[in-house]
Structure 1
Amino acid sequence: MTSASIPPLSAATPGILRRPAAPAAGIVHLGLGNFHRAHQAVYTDAAIAAHGGDWGIIGVASRSSAIPDAMHAQDMLYTVVEISPEGSQFSVPRVHTDAFTAAADPVRVVKAIGNAGTRIVSLTVTENGYNYTPATGSLNLQDPAIRHDLAHPGSPQTPIGQIVRGLQHRSRTHAEPVTVLSCDNLAENGHHTKRLVREFASLLPPAEAAEALAFVDTLTSFPSSMVDRIVPATTEHYRRLVASQRGYKDRIPVPAEPFTMWIVEDNFIAGRPTWEAGGAVFSSEVGGYEQLKVRLLNGTHSLIAYLGALTGAVTIPESVSHPAIELAARSVLRNEYLPSVSVPSGVDVDAYEEQLFSRWRNTALGHRTSQVGSDGSVKLRQRIPLPALQMLGDGRMPQLLALTTAAYLACIAPLPGFDPGPQAHAVEDPARGLLAGLASGSRSGGDLASKVLGDHHLLGEELAERDDFILRTGEFIDIIHSAGPLSALAEARTAASLTPAPSLQTTRSTP
């Protein structure tokens, strides 16, 4: 069969669907990217298959129309490709009822959120999509998009603006309750989202502000959640794989690892799907699971990504296969991140660590170092400060956390005369221009670290006051530039070995 003769994926494709139609919409999801389609959509598909319910999803992409256009061309369908060294598994969720782009039709976003049938508004817009200032956690009032949304109620551009305008619409029309569910890697993401929504609402004209805040406080819930699944970008490889293995063309297949986890606080004021049917866990210990994910997984992942990018590793498996990088990753996880984590009851930390490294070694998935390293200016603020400050307060230098920071800056903002390589150049970051400008005028790593951490508070206000951490970060930048990332890694591990080890007793959270 030639490529031209392979039929496109559609509702008429035989043998792929387990229900004749998607259910009526009950969820509006902001951030119609790969992660949502391989995570929340899969859980929702399982919930509907097991227990029914009007929990169809309206997917809203931020700016690009590529996924909405493809979904409409494919009867709102796509393939999830679970990738492992043992082989691939394929599934086709049928939960999306509509898909469109917010930038092209902002009024439609507000109406969808404001519709009485919408009972959940969920988000996967990345940390950068919340338009907050990492140093303070507050809404970034200097952001032009936030200023636009405050001045133009009919055409909000940001997720926070869209949510507030949608809640205003609900308040003025039917006053039905709704849940706002953040599924992004933010500490206490439910509380953080509510804080940003309230801050935006409080800046409206007084009468509008009072109305909006009353609705937020009495008829809107903001549960916290922790999501976990490695979902790389879609490439031609996966399109060809679907065509050869399934016999149809899919423009937007989603590759994903077999592992998936969702821990959710059960606080849904307007009801929810029975996501337990897909394996979701409803728990009062979401905070502990968030710490595991954001620090042990994401924080360690960052070190692997930046060191890998600087050594030329294209993928995470390639990076973690380097013995020195694996040892450093295990050390930062165990000795610098773990002491700051309240481990949820029933979690075996040793088993969790081994599971992480098994996932990172999944060569069939090929998660790129440049993708994992993107948006570090926002992400590292969630991962590094608290454990670093805890160690510094105990009189110990967090060598590998300082190295993570230095490796990030070497990728994004190299000093003049240093080329970090193509993988580092491919890392995307909203602060790249600012940081590169600071680097171009810096005489040394210490000078750059002082500007970025001390003056611009990249990792928050408290670490900005820690001259010892800033100095150490600068030293690692200089070593990376003069002798390479592996030399900096060797120096960090040697220094860490001379530092008294933390107690291995971990804090357990109380259910």
Structure 2
Amino acid sequence: MTTPLPRLTAATVPPAALTHRRELTGTGIVHLGLGNFHRAHQAVYTAAALAHTDGPWGVLGVASRSAAVAEALRAQDFRYSVVEISPGGTRITVPAVHTGALVAAEQGDAVVAAIAAPGTRVVSLTVTENGYTLAPRTGGLDLDHPGIRADLAGDAPPRTTVGQIVRGLQRRLRAHGAPVTVLSCDNLAGNGTLTGQLVRAFAQALPAAERDPLTDWLEAAVTFPDTMVDRIVPATTDAYRAAVADGLGLRDAVPVPAEPFTMWVLQDGFAAGRPAWEHGGALFTADVEPYELLKLRLLNGTHSLIAYLGALDGRDTIPDSVARPHIADAARRVLHEDYLPSITVPAGIDLDAYVARLFDRWSNTALGHRTRQVGSDGSAKLRQRVPEPALLHLRAGRMPHHLALTVAAYLCCAAPPGGFDPGPHAAAMTDPGAAGLRAAAARSTTAAGFTAAVLDGGLLGDGLAGHPAFTARVAEFIEVLTRHGTAAAARAAAEAADADTRTGIRTDADAHTGTGHRRPSEPVTRM
């Protein structure tokens, strides 16, 4: 009989695996969203900061609903491993920065109390695009969302992320009024600015007796810096648990796999101090927007097209997908022709090297990021990635064919037309908007009718609904995808784009410059 390996705990972790060896002196960060990304990104930067400089920067992690990770972390003294995977080998480290783990659905009052605690200096969050309860058409706070309505009523512990933050800040004001920073680390354009707008909108919707002192204090004592985060972090599988068992000789229930590459760009606007994240490689700048758009569009937007075409092509992973020549070609074209003209490349970024690195990352077969993971939550993700660049091209008289293909491939995955089987990888994608899309598909008799219904209904906001040519192009790609497959659709998009180029149809924004609608980026300082 095989003897079970010892569990990873504070007592068993090998010192050589620890990123830092300091005793945590306090909980200075409350982090909402205890998923893999936070534990492979912000937690790793915090561990690097503590390896250099002591401070009260322990992290209290808050899971939204699932207790599985929180319970596993408690059993392991809040230790877990980060498994960096590349074709060149595996590296295993243990950040050891967490001081506790809560589950908001079960411990809502404790979450509010933690945000209000005087030792809390940063409230950070990685709750995905869907966790911000955005109104589909306006992009502001969805005051009709049942969770928001319940949190405004205040009869029970808050259920939504925005409700938890505001109720925590409200209690903080009443108890001591110490300043604090709310730090969004999600893939949203202007994520800090947006989070501040949502928090203020919730506060404005409160009764006057609660609203007035809170809104004044928010302006005086709470900051919402913008950030850009970047690291590919797949879901945990038994293969990664086995890698930890082989590498450390320990049993870790919740290891986090990650690629070696990582990047974090932040505005340095912290109301009550911060860890020395620059010692983990974080960059601080007055203008995060160019970095946000570089990542949201070139990486995330292209990643989405790869995932949807790959899933429809029967590919389980992103590396398998991008290995298909027609998918790789579609990815290059959406990146260069549709996304790149909509951004200003930040100063100091070598664009050719950046793009080459993206394709290297997507081709990391050792990591095996799954199409179903990248493709999930598309109704929230695409709203952040597609509309603005699409509108830029449409207003300049050019059809962004590969953005239309992205939307079509997404719709084929999320709400496949009757009689069309998108395959198991598309079927495994989860999406809060899927039920509504499928209902619209069931009511529609044609791809054109379905596409018009969902785009006019605000799937991508209001702007694109005023461009029937784009709607028609999406519908045409749905027809090609469902009748002839992904290779035919990619070929049709490429041929149409080439025909536009031959006939001189182009935007006013030349590639690589992002002319006109983006201000030049400011220099970045490495602290």
TM-score range, shorter chain: over 0.9
The one-letter code of the counterpart of 2:521 is T
State how 1:10-409 maps to structure 2 within 5 Å. Answer: 10-13=9-12, 14-15=14-15, 16-17=17-18, 18-19=20-21, 21-152=23-154, 154-409=156-411
Residue 497 in structure 1 maps to residue 498 in structure 2: yes
Partners of 1:332 and 1:401 within 8 A in 2: yes
1:469 matched residue in structure 2: 470
Deviation at 1:20, TM superposition (A): 5.2
Q: Give the whole-Å Cα distance in 2 for the aligned partners of 1:20 and 1:227.
A: 26
**Could you tell me which amino acid in structure 1 is paired with residue 4 of structure 2?**
S
For the residue of structure 2 that corresponds to 1:408, the secondary structure is helix
User: How far is the alpha carbon of 1:241 from its aligned partner?
Assistant: 1.2
Deviation digits for residues 243-286 of structure 1 (CA, Å, limit 9, x no counterpart):
12210000000000000000000000111111000000001231
C-alpha separation between the residues in 1 aligned to 2:110 and 2:326? 51
Please say if residues 444 and 478 of structure 1, whose CA atoms lie closer than 8 Å, have aligned partners that are also in contact: no
Q: Distance in 2 between matches of 1:55 and 1:332?
A: 41
> How far apart, in 1, do the equivalents of 2:89 and 2:275 lie?
31
CA distance in 2, matches of 1:154, 1:331: 50
Structure 1 Cα separation of the partners of residues 95 and 136 of structure 2? 35
Q: Map of 1:432-443 to 2, 5 A cutoff?
A: 432-443=434-445
CA distance in 2, matches of 1:245, 1:270: 39
Deviates more, 1:15-24 or 1:413-422: 15-24
* Maintained 8 Å contact 2:22/2:50: no
CA distance in 2 between partners of 1:169 and 1:326 (Å): 51
Aligned to 1:488: 489
Match of 1:414 in 2: 416
Mapped contact 2:345–2:512 kept (Cα < 8 A): no
The one-letter code sitting in structure 1 at the alignment partner of 2:520 is: S
The aligned length equals 509
Identity %: 56
Q: Offset at 1:483?
A: 1.2
1:164–1:212 contact (8 Å) kept in structure 2: no
Question: Does structure 2 conserve the Cα–Cα contact (< 8 Å) formed by 1:445 and 1:476?
Answer: no
CA distance in 1, matches of 2:48, 2:486: 45
- What displacement does 1:440 show? 1.3
Deviation at residue 218 of structure 1 after TM alignment: 0.7
* Cα distance change on mapping 1:9 and 1:146 into 2, 3 Å: same
Higher mean alpha-carbon deviation, 17-26 vs 4-13, is at: 17-26
SS for the counterpart of 2:118 is coil
Instruction: Find the residue that maps to 1:28 and give its secondary structure.
Output: strand
In the other structure, the counterpart of 2:521 is: 510
Retained in 2: the 8 A contact 1:79–1:90?
Answer: yes
Provide the residue aligned with 1:7 in structure 2.
6
Q: In the alignment, residue 138 of structure 1 is paired with which amino acid?
A: G
Supply the AA of the counterpart residue of 1:114. Answer: A
Bigger drift between 20-29 and 32-41 goes to 20-29
Residue 153 (structure 1) shift: 5.4
Q: CA separation in 2, counterparts of 1:111 and 1:91? A: 31
With normalisation by structure 2, the TM-score equals: 0.95
Deviations 1:389-445 (A, max 9, x none): 111111110000000000000001111111111011001100111101111121111
Given that 2:440 and 2:453 are in contact with CA atoms closer than 8 Å, whether structure 1 keeps it comes out as yes
CA RMSD of aligned residues (A): 1.2
Offset at residue 480 of structure 1 (A): 1.0
Q: Name which of structure 1's ranges 480-489 and 110-119 shifts more when overlaid on structure 2.
A: 480-489
In structure 2, distance between residues paired with 1:375 and 1:5: 38
Query: d(CA) in 1 for partners of 2:471 and 2:290?
Result: 29
1:113-163: CA deviation from partner (whole Å, max 9, x where unpaired): 000100000000000000011321111122111111011254001110000
State how far apart, in whole Å, the 1-side matches of 2:179 and 2:430 are: 38
Q: Distance between the aligned counterparts of 2:10 and 2:303, measured in 1?
A: 38
Question: Secondary structure of 1:499's match?
Answer: helix
SS of residue matched to 2:500: coil
Q: Give the partner amino acid of 1:493.
A: A
Distance in 2, Cα, partners of 1:484 & 1:397:
22
**Quick check: 1:139–1:199 contact (8 Å CA) kept in 2?**
yes
Q: Do the aligned residues in 1 keep the contact of 2:104 with 2:159 (CA within 8 Å)?
A: yes
Pick closer, same or farther for the CA change 1:278–1:97 going to 2, 3 Å. Answer: same
Q: CA deviation at 1:487?
A: 1.0
SS at match of 2:90: strand
CA distance in 1, matches of 2:246, 2:220: 52
Is the partner of 1:342 in helix, strand or coil? coil
Paired residue type of 1:509: P
Corresponding residue for residue 459 of structure 2? 458
TM-score normalized with structure 1 length: 0.98
SS at structure 1 position matched to 2:240: helix
Residue 464 of structure 1 deviates from its aligned partner by 0.8
Question: Does the 8 Å CA contact 1:23/1:95 hold for their aligned counterparts?
Answer: no
Find the partner of 2:425 among 423, 426, 429: 423
1:291-341 deviation per Cα after TM superposition (whole angstroms, max 9, x unaligned): 001101000000000000000000000000011111110111011000000
Query: Quick one: which amino acid aligns to residue 223 of structure 2?
Result: S
Structure 1: any 5+ residue segments left out of the alignment? none
Give CA-to-partner distance per residue, 1:322-363, whole Å, 9 cap, x none.
111111101110110000002111111111100100000000
Q: CA deviation at 1:505?
A: 4.3
Q: Distance in 2 between matches of 1:32 and 1:124?
A: 8
Question: Which amino acid is 1:272 matched to?
Answer: R
